[in-house]
Each structure stands twice: as structure tokens, then as C-alpha cells.
Structure 1
Amino acid sequence: MFVLELTYTASLDRIDAALPAHVEWLGRHYADGTFLASGRKVPRDGGVILATGDDRAAIEAVTRTDPFVVDGLVEYTVTEFLATTVAPVLEAHRQRLPA
């Protein structure tokens, strides 16, 4: 599993102008099962996305297609972790430690 942290590198006016395209991009990745949760950071200097997958390179490739990235408005930090304990609603995404 992955925590994708976005840090704004542009003004909020530019972020807000690009927000509809970013929200559409989020929707596509919720639909394909990659994203589990997302939202703004507080204070509003970026955002966080919880993503599922086993391939870090594939997740990093997804981040590069974010309209915020394409327009040079954010930087991503990708943190991979093993979700070995999850709430019941996330049981399908529970991971096991490597042997």
C-alpha cells in the first residue's frame, strides 16, 4: 500500500484552477480500484492519497499523470508500507509480511 503526499509548489489560485481536472483524474483511479481515500492536508498546503498496489514503479507512474504534476503545481512523496492490520472494510487490501 502507498501513501501519496502532494505538496503544492504553486499558488492556491493555480491549484484551484486545475482542481476540476485533478478531481476527474482521482475519479478514474477510484474507479479502477487504485485509490482508497484522498483529501486536502490541513493547513491547505497539499493533499494525501491512500493507494493500493504491489508495484511502486506503477504507482509512481500514476502520480506523473496527475494534472497537477503535468502543470507543474505539486511535488509527490511516495511512501510504501505493508498494511498488515486494517479495518474490516479494508480487509481485501490487507498485506502479509514477506517470508
Structure 2
Amino acid sequence: MDSFSSSSIGSGAGSGSPQMSTEDFMDQFKTQLAQAYAQEFLETVREKCFDKCITKPGSSLSGSESSCISRCVDRYIEATGIVSRSLFNAQR
């Protein structure tokens, strides 16, 4: 059997570790993908909202900066949801 056959998924050549089922592999992959998406989402929001809302970086946020960041994040989350729903509905 070659190293890409389904029975060797996750077993690693000579590692002695138990074999991972395809379902377990997919669950692990989905988890890692969700974590990567969440990290990218947070980085994008941080960059865009920080650049837009923080005019004078300091040790604390002013009330207007805090409000701006809150609105910016809310809008970004809403926009991401709209795009996600549109993509999901388009695939049906």
C-alpha cells in the first residue's frame, strides 16, 4: 500500500501511532480550518478597525475610539455574515 492510501492517513511512516480514520481526519481538518479562519478574521478586523478608529495611540482608548471600534467590528461581523449566507445560498 502507498503512503497516500486511506488506511495510512495520520499513521506516519514508522511512527507507531494509531491510524486515524478518515472521519477523524476530516473533523481535525475542519477544526484547524475554523481556527485559521477565526485568526484571520480577528487580524483583519484588528487592522481595519484600528487604522480607522485609533487616531492617537495611547495607553487607553477614548470614548469615541471605543465606540468606533465597537461599530466597526459589528459592521464587519454583519458584512461577513451577509457574504457567508449569500455564498451558502448560491451553492444550493
- Larger relative contact order (CA 8 Å, sep ≥ 6): 1
More helix by share: 2
More strand by share: 1
**Both proteins in one fold, TM over 0.5:** no
State the TM-score, normalizing by the size of structure 2. Answer: 0.29
State the TM-score, normalizing by the size of structure 1. Answer: 0.28
